[in-house]
Structure formats: C-alpha cells, structure tokens
Structure 1
C-alpha cells in the first residue's frame, strides 16, 4: 500500500504548485440561486492554461449516450447525432468532460448497433459522417471530447467481410472469422445438447453457448461449416489470430482518430480470443434464462493472447496527439484481473479498464459498507498506481439505485452512489439519465419487447429495453425527446416530474446534487489529486474515507450511512496523516449535518451523505 501511494505522490509533486493556482481560482467560484457552484468561463480557461495535473481523462466525468434514446432532431422517433449536438450545452452545464457514444455505425440493428456492418461510416438513422464531424467540432468548442464505442470481437453478418467469408472456403476473407467443420453427430463423446444443433450429420465441436441463447456455433450450408458467435448468431466473431483482422480493425480505428475522436470504449474486449483446442466450458450447475446449462467461460473470455493485441493498440493510439484513451468493458472476477488490463506495473495496456466490481454485484446487489470499502480500497492500492474507473450504470443493466435500493430510500441511495462516484479518486463514468434518477421501465408484455434477448428469454429474461428508454428533458409530450407520433421505445411514465427542466429548478433535486458534486470535484485540488484512505474501517454501517490534502489544501472527509437507521460516528483521520478534528461541511443531503463542526459524534440520518473539509 505504501509503495503504491508513494509512487503516485512522487509522480505528482511536480504538479502541486500548479494546483495551488487552481485552488485560488476555486475560491472565486460563484453560486447561482440554486446553490450551484459554477466557474466563470474566463476562470476555467485560465485554470487550463496554468496547471497540469495529468492527462485529461484522469479527472474526467465521462457520460455515456445511447444515440437512439438521447435526442431526436428529425422527428422519426429515434435519437441521432444532431440531437446530441443540440444538447451539448446541457452536458457542459452538468460538468461533463467527454461523451461516450454507443455504436452509431451502419448496422442491421439486430443488437441496436453492436452488430456493425461498416466501421467507417454512420448509420443513416443517426446521420452522416459530416454530422459526426460537426458533433466533434461542437464538442471541442465546449471542451467536451467524443469517445466512440468500438466493437472488435464481432461484426454483423451483413458486413462485407463476413459476406465474403461465408461465400466460399477459398475466399481470401474466409479465415477472417472463426470457422469449424464440427464433429460427426454419432461421435463417441457427443452430448444431447450438441445433437440439438445437428446439420448434415455434423454437430458443433463443443458445448460453447451464445450469450443470447443456444449454441455459439451456426451452420452455413454454402461452406459446410459452423462459425462461432459469442453473442447473437448475427454477430460472427472475428478471428483475431489472423494478422489481417488486426490490421483492418486498427485501420478502422485510425479512420476515426484522424477525424478527432478522443478514444474508444472497447466493447466485450476480453472475448477477442477463444481456446484453440476448443475445450468444453465447465458446467456450474443449473440452467440460465435461455434454458441452456450454466457454464464458466474460461475458454472463451479473458485469454492471455488478448493482452498482446491491447499493447499493440495502445502503442498505435499513442502515435496520436491529445492523450487519446482506451476504455475497456471489463467485467472481471477480481481486482488482480483488473490490474492485468492496465498492463500491471508497465502501464502499457488500457488506460481505463472499467472497474465493475463496486457498481455491479450480479444478482446479489446489496448496499454493504464493508464490501464497498474493500473493493474501493483495492482499487486504490492493488493496481500499481493506475487510475481507477468506477461504473455504476450502463445501457445493459437495471439502474443502480433500483439494484441497490430498498424501494423506499432509492433517491437517497442514488445520492450515496453519486457521492462515491465523484468524491473517490476514480475517473467517473455516467449513463444518460443517471443524474435525474430515471427509472428502469421494463416492458410488461412480450409483444412490447424490442431487445432480442428479451424476446427469446421471456419471461425469465425481459431484455434491456427498460434502461434504454428516451432521455427525459421536460414535461411536454414524450419528455421533449421527440415530436414523432411514436418513439422507438416509450418514455417512462414518470417523465412529467423526473426531467431536466423540473430538476434544474429544484435546488434539492438529484440533478443539482450531481452538479454540486461535479463542480466540487472540478475545483478542489484535494478531490482531484489527494490520496484516498479508508477510516473507521470496522464500521459495518457507515462508509468513511479521507482524501488527503494536496499542497497545503485541506483534507476532505466523506461519510455515508448505508442503513435505514441513524448512525453516530466519531472519525479519526490520523491514518490519513490528518491530525485536525474541526470540520466545515462542504456538501450534505441532510439538513441536520449542515452545521457540523467536529469529526466527533456525527449523527448521520438514514442513508445520508456528508462531505466535509478538515481544518
């Protein structure tokens, strides 16, 4: 622990004097009538020119946008790139540094863009390449960078590469995908499961399953072979053992880097390689929502070969100016595995693999202070000084305040999760509508489901439509998302009260809570660069930590009550090299804590969050 913290301290000493300048600027922050900290444009410009505390992504707030659902600009009921450009001022006011746009490439939309048919264009539903150029330029004017989703594990089966690959075994692109002859259906070790997928006397070579139901092997009569697909059958996996595939994919990335994108979020990146021996995945018992045996995917995910690709990819993007970034969708079993995706001590792979361990806890999400403490502390101490990236929400999961909520205090729990996201040392990743407390609106009828996984898995698996409903801008028809007669998904029923316009006017709204946290993070040198140290570590109910002061600036203490009962704590910050006990409240959602002046005997109301500055 000491070595990792010392490593970061040593690397930041040269920046501390610049941070002092930022603190002076922060003292001139003005507050609007809603109590919101807002730096004047001139101050922000001056700050940018007088300090350098690491690459831009180190302190960034990154905001994920699902282009279908953010803003419709042409009245067809589907969001688009010009709609995103129209809402950039809102994102600027929120404090967003970069937007990650889910796939907007040409696609048959089987998986709503994650089945790409052309890496170097824009789907007409979303606009044109010129519209993307315009969005990048408009973002640059507001210091908002654009990050694109890059899907490298698979393409659409309508991609020209696959059309050629599937046309003939002798086609030059046949080996661009993962093909196999299968095994004889009457073979000695063939299982009943394999026989369900028999074609021409052949069955798949093993028990590998698609993540969306059924075998991961699909038969193509034209070549008398099966191709492998980790996901939908319309998403054939690329063969990353073929250098031509790597070259073509890197070229596609260069196309967008040359146009000014700030980097990529790499979809399903641990699944690039499969076991060349095609060994069966171990069964772990039971069946999934699709009716298939539950498997442990040790032979189709997180194989060591992927790290060689990532190192070459990192070297490629570093030939571009402007600190381009690679973000990974990395659902991993533990922090040690996460460290591998940074490149360990060499720091030569992803700059920001997603830490899903804190924010996504499978089927057992629980607001558990010891578990949060353990995982956040591991991110601080076990990744060789790399920059953590915490994620609580995305387009594939039920909203976090519903997963971690109790149905009564969900709003307060949403504030706890936001407090962790923006006061920890991690880079912060948000999902559209997170700042409003948008709810998951899961369809109640199978005929209303748009997500194919919900159609095939109903009723055990109802799909991901519920978290992808249109953004709620105001109380007008369809929440100001579109003026079409019908939107691609219905707007959530609470949009008349849960929307940007209503919450902007309410100083106590969840939106303004996010704005206050982000503004504080943006302007406080301690929250930007201070080491994070857990305190009161035996407390089962309250999560508390200190961000150590930077260059003479006060340390910041954060405490959150994870229970429905009041909790009284006396906090000792000596572990964080802080001797003071007097405090000033910086931010809290509990009126009774506004006047807190001491670290002793602080009574936190149920699910309260409190942030203070230690004198």
Structure 2
C-alpha cells in the first residue's frame, strides 16, 4: 500500500452496505465473500478505500447497527476468516478498508447489557445509562428517540429506565464510565490488529449524555428541519442540548486518536445533528488530536444543492471549522438517493459528480450511485426498516436506498443472488442501470465516475489544495484550488440553462476535456452548457 500517512485527505471512499452488495451463498443476503468477489470492480472505479457497514453479530433489529458482539462476524455475513480474505484482497488491489464501529449503543442482547440489567450492583451495572423514574413513575426527563417516542425504556428487574437514542433494543452505553471507554478502545485494537486501516464512527456525537439528565428545551417551529429525522417525528421539536454533543466527547476522541496513531489508522465520524453540525465537525477534527475527518448532513439533505447553498455551507465552514476536515457525500444508506431526492437528470448527475471531485474535502460514494440508481419503491408489505414501518406512509424509511446492487440486467435479481427471494426486492427499474450494460456503453454514468476520479488523482491540488474565492453567480459556482505546485480554477454550471463565465486573468490551460469541461472561446468567455464544468490549470501555487 502507498505510504502517505495523510492518504485520507482528499481520498475517495466507497461505501458498501454488505446486505445488498453481493450474495455469494444463495441465501438472499449479501455477505463478505460476495464483497471479495466484487472488489476488482470497486478498484476499477479509482477509489482509495472502502467503508463497510456493520457485519458484526446482531439480532438485526436495526440491521447490524445493534451489535451483540463487537469482535466477530455474524454468520449471515460469513466468518472472521472471510473478513481476513476480504482484507487481503482489498489490500492487494490497493484499497484500504474502513469498518463501521457503533460505539454509542449496543444491542440489548449484548452480554454487557444482559449483565448490566440484572441488578444495580453487578460489575457492569453502570455500563449503560440508567436512571430512576420521576416520583410519578414517568421517565426521568423529556428526551426523545430518533426512531420515535420517548428515549427511555422501563426495565422491571432494576426498576429503572435505560436510555436509548434509537430503538428500545439499542441501549446507550455510559461512556462516563472509564471502563466502558477502555472496553471500546479494546474493540478498536482488535480490528486494527487484524489489519483494518480505520473506522467510520457511527453517531459520533451521541457518545455522552448530560450527567444531570436535564430536559431539552423546545425548538421553535421556524428552526426545525428534517435533515436528521423526518418532519413527522417529534424529535425535531427539541433543541438537543443535553442528550448528545457533550464536551466530554472531546477527551474520549483524544483517547481514540491515541489508539489510531499507534497503528497509523484513520477515523471518519458521522455527526447526526441538524442544529450545530459544522461546529461539531470543527471541534472533532481540528488540532490533530481527535478524529481526522467527519461528515455532516448538509449535502445529504432534501434541500436542493444550489450554487448559493454550497457557497453558504463553505462560508460557514470557514467560520466554524477552518482547521477541520470534512468528508462530503451525496447519498448513503440513511437517506433518499440523490438522483431521486433532487430529481436529477443524467446530465445533472454528471455535473454533481464533477463538482464533488473538485471540492475541498474527502468524498464518500455510496454503492450504486455510480450507476445513477434512483430511490427504489418498496411496498409496505416488503419493508424491513423499523423506522419506515413506524412512520409510514409520511416517511417510508431507509429501505429504498438499501435495495441490492444490480450487476447483470439479464440475471435473476440483477445478478445479486441466486436465491428465490432476496432480503429486499430488486426493483425492475434498476435493471436498466446494471453494471454490465453500463460497462458496454462509453457514455454511461459509470464511466464518467471513473474519468472524474482519475482526473482527481491526476491533479493532487484537488485532493489537498486550499479552496479560495468561492463565488455563486446564478447557477454557476466557481472557486480556485491552490496547492504548492499548481492552481486550478473550477466552475460548474449547476443549472439546466446555458451560462456564460468570464475566466480569471492569467496564463491558464484548459483541462478536463475527458469529463466534458468547457474552455474559453474566441470571444474570451467560457460558454457553459447545462451542468457543464470549466477547469483551468496553471503551474506554480500559493
């Protein structure tokens, strides 16, 4: 593997949702050996690393984000030997491997919780967040669960409530207890010793809750949004001051970083907050002593990603996270696929892909977005996601972005599985986007992703250079990336109408023809078609 210790800065990471990537044994569920089979395809995209969503033993109430054993593989996905084969194959292909760690909560079937709930005085009695009821028997405060309802569940054995920010079967660990921190750091060491290159840290801002269990204040209606929870969820009615985002998190992240540095490993944190996400990103990734990078939900929201919106986000980043490092994603396993979320044409999908490879930050691609997959319609009787089942039909859950990959248009289930039935149905409309069809079509979106990622790799200023002079003028977003050896002026028309751009003064070379970049015309102007970029390079940096 290349030895650059800051390989993650500006890298492209490909997210794999293992249940839906490739089924190798015909049971209708994707698995680790299925990922091994498809890794050459992933490597062919030109990405630097993969992030694999949870594959640990789990009752699968939240499909692996409810962990019952942090140091093994659920039999549905294979074995530790299969994971070792995945690591070896990925590394041989030049791909680093990051795995998803869920440290804020476990399954209620984890041995730690089973022991903790048994009594108030056992060795793990304080490993989870327990609290006495109010005198009238109601929960200790007004905290709400992201999945709906109170964030507290009653336990008869202890005659106390336990905290669950997600499902009641996902009790929150008490990281105020140092032995819990030690146990979680040992989990990280287990996988680092096995050879992983880093972690994606689920809900990184949920690790601590307020020791005093103070009520959250209400959030005024005009400040509510649905970036984290759907609008129909009362979770959006609170300002989440006390159930997450606690200052103690910084010291734990420093401890976690100490473990990472001992292995030369990296971490990508997920910040789940609609009110102070970029501020937290700045806190968690600055100073070189916490996690290397985080992602927020600004580009994963339903709000259309206009030129003005992107400029606004970067201006805020400059104010609150200037020394931090962001990872951008347009789609992932928790949100409606961006092709559908913003109703994007094929040209628009290309435009956003080009924009992503030009922006400062690491980028994360979600399986199938390189095929332009739209959000799938999953009927209620086929739903698996408890979140969608709870809020149907106003919110249909996350299954629509989690349906299986389509590899071959003419094969059963798009080549994902030979089983009679798959865990989620493969939508018929996805078959026309299958990998085998796009491989044979030079104009397909898949090839645009490859060309765009190759262009980013060929121009290191796009990975690690500074970003200055971002301007939104109508639908056109422009900025300059500045490195030690080169500068690149980037402009993208994020609209359906042609636009005209005055290029910057200086000795610039038009580049990016392979990704349909425009160049200055005889009149000295750049005439941008809908969703078309302009990329100008000059050597010598700032």
Q: Same fold by TM-score, threshold 0.5 exceeded?
A: yes
Q: Highest CA radius of gyration, 1 or 2?
A: 1
Question: How far apart are residue 293 of structure 1 and its match?
Answer: 7.2
Tell me, in whole angstroms, the C-alpha distance in 2 between the residues paired with 1:137 and 1:291.
46
Partner of 2:69: 118
2:125 pairs with 1:169? no
- Give the CA deviation at 1:232: 0.2
* Deviation digits for residues 38-64 of structure 1 (CA, Å, limit 9, x no counterpart): xxxxxxx9xx58xx5x52212321111
- Secondary structure (helix, strand or coil) at the match of 2:396 reads coil
* Secondary structure at the counterpart of residue 264 of structure 1: strand
Residue 350 of structure 1 is matched in structure 2 by 291
Change (3 A) 1:442 1:305: farther
Q: CA-to-partner distance for each residue in 1:249-283, whole Å, 9 max, x for gaps?
A: 11111111100001111101101111122121122
Task: Map 1:262-273 to 2 at 5 A.
Answer: 262-273=197-208
Partner of 1:298: 241
Cross-structure match for 1:508: 443
8 Å Cα contact 1:586/1:612 also seen in 2: no
Query: For the residues of structure 1 that align with 2:390 and 2:499, how far apart are their CA atoms?
Result: 46
Q: How many residues align?
A: 528
Q: 2:257 aligns with which of 307, 311, 314?
A: 314
Choose the corresponding residue for 2:306, options 355, 361, 368.
368
Q: How much does 1:614 deviate?
A: 4.9
Aligned partner of 1:392 among 325, 330, 339: 330
CA distance in 1, matches of 2:319, 2:238: 32
Which of 511, 516, 531 is residue 607 of structure 1 equivalent to?
A: 531
2:34 to 79, 83, 89: 83
User: 1:382, 1:226 → 2: CA distance?
Assistant: 37
Please give the alpha-carbon distance, in whole angstroms, between the structure 2 residues aligned to 1:103 and 1:250: 17
TM-score, structure 2 normalization: 0.92
Tell me if the contact between 2:361 and 2:463 (Cα under 8 Å) persists in the aligned partners: no
**1:580 has 2:507 as partner:** yes
- 1:248-267 equivalence runs, <5 A: 248-267=183-202
1:319-468 mapped onto 2 (5 Å cutoff) = 319-320=262-263, 323-332=264-273, 333-342=276-285, 344=286, 346-357=287-298, 359-361=299-301, 363=302, 365-376=303-314, 378-379=316-317, 383-405=321-343, 409-443=344-378, 445-468=379-402
Residues 208 and 446 of structure 1: CA distance in aligned 2, closer, same or farther (over 3 Å): same
Q: Deviations over 1:510-559 (max 9, x none)?
A: 11111001111112233334332235x251220112223642x5x33322
| Alignment-derived partner of residue 148 in structure 2 | 213
Measured in 1, the distance between the counterparts of 2:250 and 2:353 equals: 32
Larger displacement relative to structure 2 (288-297 or 150-159): 288-297
User: Cα RMSD between the aligned structures?
Assistant: 2.2
Structure 1, unaligned runs of 5 or more: 1-44, 186-201, 574-578
Q: Which residue of 1 aligns with 2:226?
A: none
Using the TM superposition, give the Cα deviation of residue 599 of structure 1 relative to its aligned residue in structure 2, in angstroms: 9.2
Q: 1:149 to 1:598 in 2, by over 3 A?
A: farther
1:582 CA drift (Å):
5.4
Q: Which stretches in structure 2 are left out of the alignment for 5+ residues?
A: 222-229
Cα gap change, 1:288 to 1:370, in 2 (>3 Å): closer
In structure 2, C-alpha distance between the alignment counterparts of 1:126 and 1:153, rounded to whole Å: 23
SS at match of 2:107: coil
Contact 1:583 1:613 in 2 (8 A): yes
Distance, in Å, in 1 between the alignment partners of 2:25 and 2:510 is: 52
Matched residue SS, 1:319: helix
